[in-house]
Amino acid sequence: MKKTKKIRVKIVSERGHDTLILSPTEAFERAKTEVENKGKWCYVDGAYIPSETLSVNDLVNAEEIVLTSALEGGSLFLFSDMDFIVDFLFKRFENQQEEIIVMILKNSSGGLIFKEIENTSENKGCHYFGEKSEYYEILKETKFMSDKPKYELLGIAHNHPSFIAYPSSTDLKYMFYDISYFIYSDQDRKMNVFNNKGVKI
């Protein structure tokens, strides 16, 4: 009797991820639901698959599907970390004409790492849309995709070249992970930090 093909499906939540073992048909149905109803991005064996082209055939030979929140737009920090992060971001964001996305990570030795994600939006002056493969490569090394994470994702930062340092409606929609969100405004030279509910911390 032929063994039914099974696929590992990781569904990212705000605090980590859940893993399901499903048949290709079950995996397809779950992926479509998560993408269409919850706005998730779908990666099949590390490659982003647009929802409109996703089919059961894409999954027949797949080993893993990851369904994660889109990157569009809390961990606790030591005060020394926070000061360093804010100083770094001020220098990176000041006087920029386009929105920039920076993911803030900590390695097992306690070192801070800043990873900039390409902004693929067509209107970079007032909107960001994270490049999908870069986002995936970083996220897969954190608890949101990995059972043995290499990094802790502390926060996501971006700038508002011509808007105040508070989340826009788009920002609030995609502040998904239980981390800190840094927003810098070049308009008033100010940086604010928020939790994933949009509350200033």
pLDDT in tens, 27-84: 888 988 888 888 788 888 888 887 777 888 878 788 888 888 765 543 344 445 777 8
Q: What is the pLDDT of residues 92-135, one digit of tens each?
A: 999 999 999 999 998 887 788 899 999 999 999 888 888 989 99
Strand order in the sheet with 64-69: 17-22, 7-12, 64-69, 40-44, 47-48
pTM of the model: 0.70
CATH number belonging to domain 79-194: 3.40.140.10
Number of other residues whose CB lies within 10 A of the CB of residue 129:
21
Tokens of 158: 């971006």
Pick one of 1.10.3470, 2.40.128, 3.10.20, 2.60.40 as the CATH number of 7-69.
3.10.20
Structural domain boundaries in the chain: 7-69, 79-194
Q: Reduce the DSSP state of residue 19 to 3 states and report it.
A: strand
Beta strands in 53-136 (DSSP E): 64-69, 101-107, 112-117
85 sits in which H/E element: helix 79-93
